[in-house]
Every structure is written in structure tokens, then in C-alpha cells.
Structure 1
Amino acid sequence: MNAARRLSIVNDEVHAPTPQRKGGALRIAIATQDMKSLNAHFGSAKRFAVYDVTSDAWNFVEAVAFEDVSDESGKHRAEGEDRITPKVNALKGCHLLFCLAIGGPSAAKLVSAKIHPIKVQQPQSIEDVLSRTQTMLRTAPPPWLRKVLTEAGAAEKKPFEDRTER
């Protein structure tokens, strides 16, 4: 079985399996091999860096690590192996997942878990991903992000037409 290992920053002596999301924050996961860049396909990612992001700040929540990952061909090493479900389960509570590539069945499992996958064309630093997410939150978010924010309870309560770009 491909169990996830979690590394979290704990601010007190009580440790919950998944740290509580701060009110109004968007929880995002970033597929990474090195904890510095978005540089992995969903299935081959050894780690996911998880952050809570608001329009003016971001906070590291945890790193979720996997030892047994798929190669980037999308094929499993042995027939019947499921490396996707443990990843989806480990990321529950996240709203967005940024990755370089993701297959249709994996994307469907994420969407079923209310995690919106976002494919990025080229590797980029985690800081760039976080900064761009903040920019989307500060300006008029696209419709798909407004829906995610509403479901997450992180959206402003005024109608979209009343929002002004800053």
C-alpha cells in the first residue's frame, strides 16, 4: 500500500492529522519533487506542498510525501495497482491542485473529492504559484475559482458585478 507521510508545522502540542484551514483561506496543493518548484506530474509527484492562501498572505501547512509513485508514462508498474486513490485521499481538504500534467481518470477522482486540478505548462517556483494565486484572489477571480471560493466559504459575500479590480 502506498501510504502518505505528512510533515506539518505544529504550533501547539495538539496535532491533528490534517491541520485546520484558517478561515477565508484557499488550501492549495502543489505537485513537487523537491519542495522548491511545481515540477511534477500528479501521478509521479513524490511530494505535495500544501499551503493556505489568502489575498494578502500564504502559510505552509504541510508536505505530503509518497515513496511509491508512477512514472510519467501514466502506466502502473503492476496491473491493478492504484497509486492515485491514496494521493487523492491524502489531499482531501485542498481546494486546488497545481501540477504539470494529470490523466483524465485522476482528474475525475480529484474533482469527485472537490479538488480542482490545474495543469501548468512549465515548471515554476512554488513562490510564483502562490503569488499568482494571490493575484487571482485580489482581482476578479475567473468563474471556476469563484465557485471553488464559494464552496470553501472563502468568497466575499457581495455579488461579482460589485467587485472592482485593485
Structure 2
Amino acid sequence: MLKLAFASDDRVRVNQHFGAAQAFVIYTVTPNGATVSGFGEFPEEAMDGNENKLLAKVDFLAGCDAVFVHAIGASAIKQLLAKGVQPIRVGEVDSIDELIKDVSQAMQTGGVPWIDRALAAQSRAAGPDRFAAMEAEGWEG
């Protein structure tokens, strides 16, 4: 399962610059589909000269595996990566539904580095407890 955010003012397409984004929609994505799991709105702010505007957005996105944006500055990239959130720049006309389908498919087939890393980190985080759970279910190796 991946938690993905999309900078969007219409919840249909990625159409916002990260620093000036007025809204993010968050989806929980599995190889079989996705569900909306959150939405955040932010006041309109000037794009340049206000680094503090990034903090609330970065904090809101903590816990997400990736954020899809139309554009993003170097400072925001650095702050997101420090929180473990992979920024992904896409075209302004990119449909959220199409991006989710692409991610779901990549979760099944592999080969997309940031997705593979996020899923591997989740497996490592599950740790030895996942083996105990499999044993309790009757799994045999």
C-alpha cells in the first residue's frame, strides 16, 4: 500500500505548483485500486520569498510516500525528501486517475525505483512480526 498526494485544486488533475498549492488530495493506493484518504487546503500565498509557506505543506504530507506536483522548487524538494516523501513532477494535464492506475500497475510489476524503494521500506518495517503472522495463519516455508 502506498500513500500518495496530488497537488490539485479540482481533485481531477495535477495542476498546482507545490509552493503555491492551495490543495492536496491524498489517496491510499494498492495494486488493485485506490481510495481517497485525505484532503488538505491551504491559503493562497505568493510563490517567491516566503519559505515558511512550505513548512505547513511538508508537515501535512509527512507519512506520504510521494507527492505529485506540476512544478516544485529545490527547497521544497529537499524538505520533502528529508521527511521521506518523494516529489514527482508531472504535466499540468496529467489525470490523477491515470497516475493512480500507473502506480497500481507498477506496484504489481516493479521496475519504478521510487515505488520499489517505498514498498521495500514497508516490508522492512513490518520486520520479524510478519513471519509470526504468517506462521499463525498456517504458512509453511
* Shorter-chain TM-score tier: 0.7 to 0.9
Structure with greater proportional helix content: 2
Counterpart of 2:64 in structure 1 is 94
2:8 is aligned, of 22, 32, 39, to 32
1:105 is aligned, of 36, 51, 75, to 75
* CA-to-aligned-CA distance 1:6-38 (integer Å, 9 cap, x gap): xxxxxxxxxxxxxxxxxxx10000001211211
2:75 maps to a residue whose letter is: P
Task: Confirm whether residue 48 of structure 1 aligns to residue 24 of structure 2.
Answer: yes
2:39 counterpart SS class: strand
Runs of 4+ in 1 over 6 A off after TM superposition: none
Q: Which moved more, 1:133-142 or 1:26-35?
A: 133-142
Cα deviation, residue 139, structure 1: 1.2
Distance 1:54 1:83 in 2: 31
Distance 2:52 2:31 in 1: 36
Segments of 5+ residues of structure 2 without an aligned counterpart are 126-141
Task: Confirm whether residue 66 of structure 1 aligns to residue 36 of structure 2.
Answer: no
Distance 2:19 2:44 in 1: 10
Distance 1:134 1:47 in 2: 23
Percent identity (aligned): 28
When residues 124 and 140 of structure 1 are mapped into structure 2, their CA distance, relative to the original with a 3 A threshold, is: same
When residues 143 and 35 of structure 1 are mapped into structure 2, their CA distance, relative to the original with a 3 A threshold, is: closer
1:69 maps to a residue whose letter is: E
When residues 68 and 145 of structure 1 are mapped into structure 2, their CA distance, relative to the original with a 3 A threshold, is: same
1:30 counterpart SS class: strand
Question: Counterparts in 2 of 1:134-145, with a 5 A limit?
Answer: 134-145=104-115
Q: Which moved more, 1:29-38 or 1:106-115?
A: 29-38
Cα deviation, residue 50, structure 1: 0.1
Counterpart of 2:139 in structure 1 is none
When residues 69 and 136 of structure 1 are mapped into structure 2, their CA distance, relative to the original with a 3 A threshold, is: farther
2:109 maps to a residue whose letter is: T
